[in-house]
Structure 1
Amino acid sequence: MVGFVGTACIIAAYAYLTLSEKPNPFILHGTNLMGAALLTVSLIVHTNWPSLVLEGFWAAIAIFGLAKAFRSGRKLQEREA
């Protein structure tokens, strides 16, 4: 069940990216990270190494995207101050 919820998160994030004109990076990358984490839990129980490696990269990209969004938000706040 955990894996299905993770899959739903990743699909929802992709749909959000596709349907939104200006997607919020925190929602997009946060949802992707949650999906990757849930799928990783599922894959640890039911090991599938190629999928586990894929989720590791998926999570790393999501973390990078969140870090980039945090940095951009701080720069924007500094400019507005």
Structure 2
Amino acid sequence: MNATDWLGSIGVFQILLAYFLNVSGKISNKDLSFILLNLIGASMACLASVLLEYVPFIILEGAWVMVSVVSLIKYRKDS
């Protein structure tokens, strides 16, 4: 695996970890840890997709980043 593969794999792992922790009841989807795992993970996966020039996943992960940013802004306003 090259650096781009590692970047994308770690990013996807973070997104899946957030999902697993949420569905197992360990964290809420309103927790800062959930939001940050998704934001950082999606950003890493999006960057890997840009480096690979794979447009469908650039769009998918870019949208995931935007949703996470909106969630982070909402979290900050509610705090």
* Higher radius of gyration, 1 or 2: 1
Q: How far apart in 2 are the matches of 1:21 and 1:36?
A: 20
**Whose helix proportion is higher, 1 or 2?**
1
Cα deviation per residue 1:21-61 (whole Å; 9 max; x = unaligned)? 65252111110000111111211111111110011110000
Could you state the TM-score of these two structures normalised by the residue count of structure 2? 0.84
Q: What corresponds to 1:16 in structure 2?
A: 21
Q: 1:22 to 1:2 in 2, by over 3 A?
A: closer
Q: How far apart in 2 are the matches of 1:66 and 1:20?
A: 20
Could you state the TM-score of these two structures normalised by the residue count of structure 1? 0.82
Q: Which runs of 4+ in 1 moved over 4 A?
A: none
Superposition CA RMSD, Å: 1.4
- 2:77 maps to amino acid: R
Matched, 1:43 2:49: yes
Runs of 5+ in structure 1 lacking a partner? Answer: 74-81
Runs of 5+ in structure 2 lacking a partner? Answer: 1-5
Q: What corresponds to 1:31 in structure 2?
A: 37
